[in-house]
Structure 1
Amino acid sequence: MTILLTIAAILLIIALWLSLDFTLGRKKQLQGLKRVNSPFRASNIDIFTKGPELFADFFSELKKATHHIHILFYIVKDDNISKEFLNILKEKADEGVEVRLLLDRMGSFPIKKKTIESLKRHGIHFSFAHTPKPPCLFYTFQARNHRKITIIDGKIGYIGGFNIGKEYINLDPKLSPWRDYHLKMIGEGVADLQKEFLIDWLKETNTNLLANNAYFPALHTGKIQHQIVPSKGAFLEDTFSSLINRAKTKIFIGTPYFIPSERLLNDLIAAQARGITLTILVPKVSDHILVKEASYSSLRKLLENGAEVYEFQTGFYHAKTIIIDDEVCDIGTANFDRRSLFINYEINCYIYDQPFIKKVQAVIKQDIQHSRQLSLTELKQRRNIKEWAARLIAPLL
């Protein structure tokens, strides 16, 4: 009995410490954060949904760079495509192109010290982002920079769901083919991507390049109206809530992890009560423990009110998108989950161009054709201990 009481006391102390660490860490992260009013821009935008096609284009544009390359990824791995990517950066640095590479510390943990030393020997400016630090070690371990941003010569930008690793080019047997949405942007919006990269670079390196006009060349006006909206663990819930509440006829949500906050779940239920059609697309297979089970209680409530829920069958669905009516389409790095809403640094592109939205809807139609509709009866049968466990850690999922 004494041993059991001791173990219980230790577990209680650990739980209290983690809770206090998380609370104080989040409070510190939110200090000084202010809502940013993102300007409307006009750029030419293309969408990529397949890794091999994206990286063929991406690597080609990197090789054409003449002045600078600025890249932020959540994940870069120690595999063949990662090495190819890093070798391109080394080659460009050897040519005299300024290269800055910012990688999330936990997401890119496979990057070895000798790899970083090699990058620096070639003149690449390198830094990790969001390295866990005391005193709030547990919280800073959770708070990730989940953004994926590339800017080439201040004129070409990329943003979306793809990282660098073999799974993203369909070489992981469990997760292939990988389905994702990534944008290539040429035009005014690239300046906003540049600004956010340089803000993150300043935070991590204490080097302020924001006033350097060399990184902000004159940009032409494109055809597609959009906004680049960053978030840092705050205000994203407000943005998503506003999108849901403006819907008149239909809402589509595509996400690998559907773990809404209580507010967003209630917003969706209220939208259904107004007669709004709600369609949700999630993957059948999972790349993280318990994320599927964490979605079940919310999906059941929405299914009870008439939502259509589809599970993507042919590979892994990792896209992050929201489409409201035919009026606004969100594509970016933020998942429809608590971690993106309340912890991570994210960046999204909100597009207001109907022809482009129709192009995305055609992609989604194809994805739904490779999916199976999920029934309420089937989802009720999936109740198990994993779902109970998932509820306990939902704020971290």
Structure 2
Amino acid sequence: MELILLAIFIILLWVAIDYRLGRFYHIKRVSKPEFPLRKSNLTLFTKGQELYDDLYKKISEANHHIHILFYIVKNDYVSQRFLDLLMKKAQEGVEVRLLLDRIGSKNITKKQKKDLKENGVLFSFCHIPKLPFLFYSINERNHRKITVIDGKIGYLGGFNIGKEYIGLDPKLGEWRDYHLRIEGEGVQDLQKQFIYDWDDATNDVIPTNSSYYPSPLAGKLLHKIVPTNAVYLEQIFIDLIKQAKSEITIGTPYFIPSPALFQEVLNASKRGVHVNIIVPLKADHPLVREAAFPYFKPLLQAGCKVYRYYAGFFHAKIIVVDEEVCDIGTANFDKRSLYLNHEINCFIYDTEFVKDVKQKLLHDIEFSEEVTLEFLDNRSFLQRGKEAFSTLVSGLL
């Protein structure tokens, strides 16, 4: 027994040291990427099949290059259709680069990788776990979802590739997410971020010529692409919440904010801002639902409203402030996105677009149950135990 306890202690000590040193060295070498304000035309998708239909159509029309980064591409027939389309375009002579997170897309098989490469697709995994900080590197994921087609059309948002994202997982039901198509000046910033990630993963330098950066036409909507590399996102979210004057709506599948970020949400409510938070009723990962519960009572006591979406699975990553700005992207309102994941978001500064997004969120609230203090007070001992344990590991959920 003593040997077992000693072994457990050594493993936990190694994990703690590995994580702290890994993050320390990551922070030392990372820089803050900055893109300017741009003008583009933006199209919003909230249903997976509509996004896929549009994305696949644009991919089919590509004539020079297709650059795609996803966190997750599943190993199912829906994903295979996606991979088949990329191979078809590569066979037509279009440059196709596909970059997938090594852990998120762990179910991609050797045969699929072989088929992609034999059919001309330039394929690579990114964020491959490695020494000396193995535990940290396992958790430091590239959570971005970027598509760039011919340097003229871009996509980013919450959807990945697989059958659940079009509502074909009976346990999760209809998948609710927010994803953007971008046409205009902002595409060049998506391109720069993809090329940075590709170079980082492969050491294959993509030339920065006009073939990849055609002269963009300005669109109608003012926006800014905001990438983060497991640093800076906490302050970006805090600054966004601080500017709220009347209303904030936060949509996230995982509400596990840092203490500083959570305090800023409470501060907003205390100064008279109406705060609405939408989370899913269902859970797609163990303990993430339980990890959110300890935040709910302080939120309600501060005057915030918390809703649990029940018409499927709510996976949107979105913040709307005062009908003036909204954030749509890949970052969740949780510690993993703040401190571990590499994310990319789009801040949109157009009143009409923001109003439209707000209406969609109001529709989501109509299909949500409101969390009450009475409900929280009546939780079982077992439920509270799960929540206590989930709090201990919340930074890794």
Residue number in structure 2 paired with 1:26: 23
- Structure 1 window deviating more from structure 2 (209-218 vs 326-335): it is 209-218
Letter in 2 for 1:325: D
Separation (CA, whole Å) in 2 of partners of 1:305 and 1:366: 24
Q: CA RMSD in A?
A: 0.9
Structure 2: any 5+ residue segments left out of the alignment?
none
Letter in 1 for 2:148: I
Give SS of 2:10's match. helix
* Cα distance, 1:376 vs structure 2: 1.7
Residue number in structure 1 paired with 2:163: 166
Separation (CA, whole Å) in 1 of partners of 2:353 and 2:244: 18
Query: Over residues 142-185 of structure 1, what are the superposed CA-to-partner deviations in whole Å (9 max), with x where a residue is unaligned?
Result: 11100000000000000000000000011100111000000001
Give SS of 2:14's match. helix
Q: How many residues align?
A: 394
Separation (CA, whole Å) in 2 of partners of 1:215 and 1:37: 20
Question: Which of 119, 125, 134 matches 1:137?
Answer: 134
Letter in 2 for 1:113: K
Residue number in structure 2 paired with 1:110: 107
Residue number in structure 2 paired with 1:343: 340
CA contact 2:328–2:347 (8 Å) conserved in 1: yes
Letter in 1 for 2:387: E
Separation (CA, whole Å) in 2 of partners of 1:380 and 1:390: 18
For the pair 1:86 / 2:76, whether they are aligned, the reply is no
Question: Which of 26, 45, 50 matches 1:48?
Answer: 45
Separation (CA, whole Å) in 2 of partners of 1:296 and 1:8: 31
Residue number in structure 1 paired with 2:389: 389
* Cα distance, 1:210 vs structure 2: 5.2
CA contact 1:198–1:210 (8 Å) conserved in 2: no
Residue number in structure 2 paired with 1:185: 182
Query: Over residues 237-263 of structure 1, what are the superposed CA-to-partner deviations in whole Å (9 max), with x where a residue is unaligned?
Result: 010000011111111100000000000
CA contact 2:270–2:303 (8 Å) conserved in 1: no
Letter in 1 for 2:295: S
Residue number in structure 2 paired with 1:274: 271
Runs of 4+ aligned residues of structure 1 deviating over 6 Å after TM superposition are none
Structure 1: any 5+ residue segments left out of the alignment?
none
Letter in 2 for 1:332: G
Separation (CA, whole Å) in 2 of partners of 1:206 and 1:223: 36
Letter in 2 for 1:307: C
Matches within 5 A, 1:1-397: 3=1, 5-209=2-206, 211-382=208-379, 383-397=383-397
Query: Over residues 265-314 of structure 1, what are the superposed CA-to-partner deviations in whole Å (9 max), with x where a residue is unaligned?
Result: 11111111111110000000000011111111112111111111000011
CA contact 1:283–1:316 (8 Å) conserved in 2: yes
Q: TM-score, normalised by structure 2?
A: 0.98
Letter in 2 for 1:373: E
Separation (CA, whole Å) in 2 of partners of 1:304 and 1:273: 10
